[in-house]
Structure 1
Amino acid sequence: MINSTTITDTTNNYGHMQMQMDWSKTSTLTSQLSSNLFPTTNSSLLSINTTQFTTMNSSFTLFIFTFVIFLQCLNPTGAATCHPDDEAGLLAFKAGITRDPSGILSSWKKGTACCSWNGVTCLTTDRVSALSVAGQADVAGSFLSGTLSPSLAKLKHLDGLYFTDLKNITGSFPQFLFQLPNLKYVYIENNRLSGPLPVNIGALSQLEAFSLEGNRFTGPIPSSISNLTLLTQLKLGNNLLTGTIPLGVANLKLMSYLNLGGNRLTGTIPDIFKSMPELRSLTLSRNGFSGNLPPSIASLAPILRFLELGHNKLSGTIPNFLSNFKALDTLDLSKNRFSGVIPKSFANLTKIFNLDLSHNLLTDPFPVLNVKGIESLDLSYNQFHLNTIPKWVTSSPIIFSLKLAKCGIKMSLDDWKPAQTFYYDFIDLSENEITGSPARFLNQTEYLVEFKAAGNKLRFDMGKLTFAKTLKTLDISRNLVFGKVPATVAGLKTLNVSHNHLCGKLPVTKFPASAFVGNDCLCGSPLSPCKA
């Protein structure tokens, strides 16, 4: 499964931040102009005598006074106080948070201007227009716990709500959303909200972007979602939604980003895409969809950049019309039941960076792709007989993930000379007939995390291997590897060197016996003790 970069509409998502930035520039200009007019640190001006001030033209004095007042009015940070309703709503939200280990809401204090609180944005008035509270996704134990207070309904001027990566926020669908008439952008992502989506969700017809991905919502997608005709983004991925895709989704004609992946949706993919001429990203992966690809997907060819349909039960042949997607960046059809030959016209996909066709029933010949540089390729576990790693892969200057397991490759790694090895993160060449040594791939990259080549004919002295510092997973089981197991394997997270010809005392590691069994004469924990 390709983890493509999530596309968001930065104008919609961060419009408030941009406005805030513009005001910041104005505030900076205010300070600069004020400093130029009244440079209090300038000793020559501090020494001006009162006679000089007395003789100053009175009209100029009035101008200066008026100008300073004007500059203060330009600065909303100084002018904005806090509407009582907004303060009450925000403090009620804070009261519903039972744990805030990172102090995300520490600046939220009664009696202080709420427009200055962390995550709160006010524009030209003292009313809150955007609320953005985000957790630290990469810091364990830093997430908020609690519920979303219904008192947020007091924020009547709110048009942007962003609650992302808070992780431990629980409860049902926030009903207060229906009481916010100006709300346009809702991103409540990666929390623990649960229960069904309300049947009247279509009443939020003013929304332009709506994301509930990464929660635990259950049940069907309400048919009333067809009323959200202003939506450009709909992200309901990574929940527990069931049922089929409502046909009314065809009414969302402004849609540019649709993500329903990672649910339990079933049935066929409806033939609704002719009505979505702006669609640039379609993610339906990790569901239970069956049948063929709907013909109307062909209408998305001019601008579609991301098509992710992996981990379903889709079948049939790969349609020729996919070769018309000349803007396509990512294509994921992995773990389906596609069969037959890949169209030769796939050579037209010159801008493809991420291609995953793994775990299907596809057969030879695989076409030559005219790509300028592929980043991620997975053709594993089909019925291909590539014999060698394709030249268009070898010549790629930017590839970081290469997975060609069970692709009928019969070559020596010594003969494989890719344009670069520096950026490789993942290499999986398992279940082929590859010979030689992987030594230069294991120590000539600064980023290699995973190397798998199980079930080949690799023959080399493992005791002489050196690993990249980043390497975490090594699987060279079921080969012809000899020598000793080096102590450096202790730094790995996963290791499998079973069923080779290794010998000698094992270094101290945390790996189970299954990682070492089936060798000639290995001994020591977790295997049998070495003989004296």
Structure 2
Amino acid sequence: MGQANGIGQAMEMGVAEKVSKVVAVESPLLAFAMGIAMCFGIESEDCCEWLGVFCNNLTGHVKELHLGLLSSRPDVHAPHAEWDVEWDVYIRSKLGGKSQQKHLSFLELSNNDFGGLAIPEFIGSMKSLIYLNLSWANFQGAIPHNLGNLSKLHYLDLGHNSLFEDKTLQWVSGLSSLQYLDLSHADLGKATDWLQITNKLPLLAELHLSGCYLYNDPSPISVNYTSLAVLDLSANKLSLVPTWIFSLRSLVSIDLTLNGVEGVIPNGFQNMSSLKFLDLSWNSFSSSSTLNWLSNLNQLQFLGLRSVGLQGNFSSAIGNLSSLTHLDLSGNLLEIIVPKYLESLCNLRELDLSNNGIVHEVSEIIESLSRCSLDRLESLNMGFNKLSGHLPDKLGQFKNLAYLSLSGNFISGPIPFSIGKLSSLKFLDVLNNRLNATLPQSLGQLGNLEHLDVCNNMLEGHISEMHFSNLTRLRFFRASNNMLTFKPNPSWIPPFHCESIELRNWHLGPQFPQWLQFQKNLSRLDISHAEISVVIPTWFWNISTQLEYLNLSHNQLIGEISYLPMKRTVDLSSNLFIGPLPLPISYLRFLFLSKNLFSGSLSNFLCNSSTKLEALTILDIESNLLSGEIPNCWENWQMLQVLNLGNYNLTGKIPRSLGSMRSIRSLNLRNDNLFGEVPSTLQHLVEVIILDLSENQLTGSISAWIGDKLLNLVVLNLRSNNFQAYIPDQICAINSLQVLDLVYNNISGVIPKCFSNLSAMATKTLYQYVGNFAWELDRINLIPLAALLVMKGREDAYSNTLGLVTIIDLSVNSLTGEIPKELGSLMGLRSLNLSGNFLTGKIPENIGSMEVLESLDLSMNRFHGEIPSSFSNLNFLNHFNLSYNNLTGQIPLST
């Protein structure tokens, strides 16, 4: 019988067997209800020995039920509606009015999964309850008002369910003993009396109403909350800081994050001398004088002002907060700080200034902090600002510093040798700076270091074993994109067991790093671009079974590979591997094998019944030595979203079964030797964004169903084939189309006037259809869609910028007639090439309104007349060709 973990623990001492004597049950929730009934003596059962059940030692009555457990999920078979009926009927019949309930004082059911049931009414009759916690338990529906009968209740937590209150919180007024109330994420938008009611609870010390759809009350309200110390109104709809808050002098903690509060931070905070925790993050506060009100908060222990629209300088008020232990101003618009205001923060333990625009010398900030908080500072985050200068030696004197992040700045110079004195340091992140010289050997003395990230700097020089001598706790070692060399003794055994090692662009070769064989916990490895040019040793395949991400690309690795045991992502592209394609394990998601020397047929890899790559999302095997036809066995590749089979000697026709891959977003069969017509089954690829069939020998006409069915297309590339007939008007229905490349075909007829309907090309706004589509290869890297395009006479690969490219290329065909003036409405077009056709007439005047054009080629046609004067508006034009026509007159003046 499936069951929620917390409930299951309570039943594992024989409850299930005892319940089965009463009635056969499939629902664990019904079994749980029966178990409670038994515990109350209804079935005369003794359950005081059950796990999570506590009884009175003298009377034997059940007094506490502790059945909460993290991440519990039941495995139930009955529909939710059946559970609800079973639960309600059984509880009403067995527990309603029973005297044994009155002894229960503690009921904990949090973090179970009750499958969307309503909170049972019977709980409201347990009048001895002092503690009730139903949070995170997947209850739904209205809050039962009879909970207001629990007058002895001290603690009530209904938070993080899907509950709502229709009219009023009047039922709460009966909880006269309540000290803790949490209704977070219950919809209280219609219960406008929430403030008046909770204010009447004389003992209430904590009130949590996060995400309750609360709005500002338009009328002034007087409250006293005589005992309230903690107030959480985060993630609501407040547009102003409620003025009644400032009358609550006993408040220790206020959380108003994620409300959209606007304007300056009110001066009312100045009088709240007991305040220790204040979070006003993710609002819209403004004004350079924002921090003046902080001067009297001498007891403040936590300040969070992330993303509140702060601008200008630090106020001197910061320097008056001598008791401050936590200061968080991250995610604002701070540009200038006055370091001297940090000098008196003698109790500061955590400082977060990250994600601002602070333009300052990093050394001055660190020097100021060292004058008072040197012995206490534990966490310093100044990442993603505009800090410059060098790191001072003083940095090594913060003996309690455990977290240091300076990533995403312009800090230069060396990492100071004194860094090795930070004996408490666990986290060091200087990613994306301009640090140079080499890594100091003193890093090897950081025995507590777990996370080291020095990626994307200008570090250079040789690394030795001494750099790692004492790093026994290192788990994440990220140092890619530097110019470092590491070639330790082949017998060296590293002292660490990392989960992630990233050394992209290091000089590690030509030998394969032998020391990796001792990394038994490795789940992520990137040693790409590392100048390794040998056969992968056999021991590597033994440790790679636990790898989720492997990148060995852009080396010169050789030999054959028969099997890939990695679990999620494998990138072996741009090497010299030979032999047949290796077979991966069934749950691999991303596979990159392009630009190698793999040979043979695709059939064994794609059609082998033992190869069931059910989770494969990306398959990129272009530019190898594979031959033969594309197999016709794509029915089992339903999860595939990117398929790249370009640049082969593949022959034959496009297989009809390719149309069965309904999830495909990018299909690349570029530069093969495919012939015949495009199969109509491809019209089922309705999710496709990039379709590249260029540089083949395909024949027939361009199918109308492309415009009727493939309405998500962004790139349609059919260049260098043998397509004939005309361009179907249906193409004009593809509103998302940004690239249309039909060059080097035998297409005749006229240019469709309806091209003006291609809305992705008809606005100057830069479209990002492709930019929003990416696959998460791991927690760090996103691999977006990419395409090889011709623009300005040059072929380039576009990936991150693909969403910004707009191209129409109809050159070298047999098009006739005039350029339709409707083409001039494509004001977002960046490249237009109509050269090498039989177009006649005059160049339309309104082409000059296509103001973002960068490339225009109308050469080798039969145009006559003058060049339109509006061409002087084409200020971005840098590739322009009108040669081999019959044009007359002057060339228009332009910038």
| In the alignment, structure 1 residue 497 sits paired with structure 2 residue 693 | yes
Q: Is the 8 A contact 1:421 1:445 kept in 2?
A: no
Partner residue, 2:668:
475
Question: Of 401, 404, 418, which residue of structure 2 is paired with 1:210?
Answer: 404
Shift of 1:309: 0.8
CA distance in 2, matches of 1:402, 1:334: 15
Q: What SS is found at the alignment partner of 2:481? A: coil
Aligned residue runs from structure 1 range 31-180, under 5 A: 36-37=151-152, 41=170, 68=203, 75-77=229-231, 108-112=265-269, 115-119=277-281, 126-129=299-302, 131=304, 133=306, 144-147=332-335, 149-150=337-338, 153=342, 155-164=345-354, 166=355, 168-173=357-362, 175-177=364-366, 178-179=368-369
CA distance in 2, matches of 1:438, 1:501: 18
Partner residue, 2:589:
400
CA distance in 2, matches of 1:500, 1:527: 17
| In the alignment, structure 1 residue 265 sits paired with structure 2 residue 459 | yes
CA distance in 2, matches of 1:407, 1:156: 64
Aligned residue runs from structure 1 range 266-345, under 5 A: 266-271=460-465, 272-293=467-488, 298-300=493-495, 303-345=497-539
Which has more helix, going by share of residues? 1
Partner residue, 2:431:
237
CA distance in 2, matches of 1:330, 1:442: 32
Aligned residue runs from structure 1 range 242-261, under 5 A: 242-261=436-455
CA distance in 1, matches of 2:500, 2:205: 49
Give, as a single letter, the amino acid of the residue that structure 1 aligns with 2:507. K
CA distance in 1, matches of 2:478, 2:687: 37
Aligned residue runs from structure 1 range 346-357, under 5 A: 346-349=540-543, 350-357=545-552
What do the CA deviations read for 1:164-223 (whole angstroms, capped 9, x no partner)? 5x3645444274454261321123333443333334322333210111122232222122
CA distance in 1, matches of 2:305, 2:579: 50
Give, as a single letter, the amino acid of the residue that structure 2 aligns with 1:385. I
Q: What SS is found at the alignment partner of 1:215? A: coil
Q: Is the 8 A contact 1:379 1:407 kept in 2?
A: no
CA 1:287 to 1:277, structure 2 compared with 1: closer, same or farther past 3 Å? same
Q: Is the 8 A contact 1:274 1:297 kept in 2?
A: no
CA distance in 2, matches of 1:119, 1:104: 10
Q: Is the 8 A contact 1:107 1:117 kept in 2?
A: no
Partner residue, 2:621:
429
CA distance in 1, matches of 2:815, 2:304: 68
CA 1:107 to 1:328, structure 2 compared with 1: closer, same or farther past 3 Å? farther
CA distance in 1, matches of 2:308, 2:578: 47
Q: Is the 8 A contact 1:315 1:337 kept in 2?
A: yes
CA distance in 2, matches of 1:45, 1:380: 69
| In the alignment, structure 1 residue 456 sits paired with structure 2 residue 648 | yes
Shift of 1:288: 1.0
CA distance in 1, matches of 2:173, 2:429: 62
CA 1:155 to 1:28, structure 2 compared with 1: closer, same or farther past 3 Å? farther
Give, as a single letter, the amino acid of the residue that structure 2 aligns with 1:109. P
CA distance in 2, matches of 1:145, 1:27: 44
CA distance in 2, matches of 1:73, 1:27: 19
CA distance in 2, matches of 1:461, 1:353: 33
Give, as a single letter, the amino acid of the residue that structure 2 aligns with 1:520. N
Partner residue, 1:527:
811
CA distance in 2, matches of 1:253, 1:217: 25
Shift of 1:314: 2.6
CA distance in 2, matches of 1:163, 1:251: 28
Shift of 1:337: 0.5
CA 1:422 to 1:290, structure 2 compared with 1: closer, same or farther past 3 Å? same
CA distance in 2, matches of 1:105, 1:417: 62
Shift of 1:38: 8.6
CA 1:148 to 1:183, structure 2 compared with 1: closer, same or farther past 3 Å? farther
CA 1:213 to 1:38, structure 2 compared with 1: closer, same or farther past 3 Å? closer
Give, as a single letter, the amino acid of the residue that structure 2 aligns with 1:527. S
What do the CA deviations read for 1:454-510 (whole angstroms, capped 9, x no partner)? 212344438985486775544321112343497899986655433211333486876
Give, as a single letter, the amino acid of the residue that structure 2 aligns with 1:479. D
CA distance in 2, matches of 1:211, 1:401: 31
What do the CA deviations read for 1:274-311 (whole angstroms, capped 9, x no partner)? 2111111111111111352566973245x311111112
What do the CA deviations read for 1:103-140 (whole angstroms, capped 9, x no partner)? 588684332357343249xxxx942336473699xxxx
CA distance in 2, matches of 1:462, 1:134: 53
TM-score normalized with structure 1 length: 0.70
Partner residue, 1:21:
none
**Greater RCO, CA 8 A, separation 6+:** 1
Q: Is the 8 A contact 2:470 2:495 kept in 1?
A: no
CA 1:469 to 1:490, structure 2 compared with 1: closer, same or farther past 3 Å? closer
Q: Is the 8 A contact 1:311 1:335 kept in 2?
A: yes
Shift of 1:317: 0.8
CA 1:108 to 1:366, structure 2 compared with 1: closer, same or farther past 3 Å? farther
Q: What SS is found at the alignment partner of 1:347? A: helix
Q: Is the 8 A contact 2:351 2:381 kept in 1?
A: yes
Partner residue, 1:375:
568
| In the alignment, structure 1 residue 387 sits paired with structure 2 residue 580 | yes
CA 1:206 to 1:419, structure 2 compared with 1: closer, same or farther past 3 Å? same
CA 1:176 to 1:266, structure 2 compared with 1: closer, same or farther past 3 Å? closer
Structure 2 residues without counterparts, runs of 5 or longer: 1-129, 134-146, 155-168, 176-201, 207-225, 232-247, 283-297, 310-330, 708-712, 724-744, 748-808, 817-895
CA 1:262 to 1:528, structure 2 compared with 1: closer, same or farther past 3 Å? same
CA distance in 2, matches of 1:312, 1:43: 64
Give, as a single letter, the amino acid of the residue that structure 2 aligns with 1:389. P
CA distance in 2, matches of 1:517, 1:289: 44
CA distance in 2, matches of 1:519, 1:361: 35
CA 1:191 to 1:295, structure 2 compared with 1: closer, same or farther past 3 Å? farther
CA distance in 1, matches of 2:266, 2:612: 55
Q: What SS is found at the alignment partner of 2:389? A: strand
Q: Is the 8 A contact 1:81 1:126 kept in 2?
A: no
CA distance in 1, matches of 2:351, 2:491: 34
Shift of 1:235: 0.9
Q: What SS is found at the alignment partner of 2:510? A: strand
Structure 1 residues without counterparts, runs of 5 or longer: 1-25, 47-66, 88-100, 137-142
Partner residue, 2:381:
187
Shift of 1:421: 4.5
Partner residue, 1:8:
none
Q: Is the 8 A contact 1:430 1:456 kept in 2?
A: yes
CA distance in 1, matches of 2:356, 2:671: 41
CA 1:470 to 1:421, structure 2 compared with 1: closer, same or farther past 3 Å? same
TM-score normalized with structure 2 length: 0.44
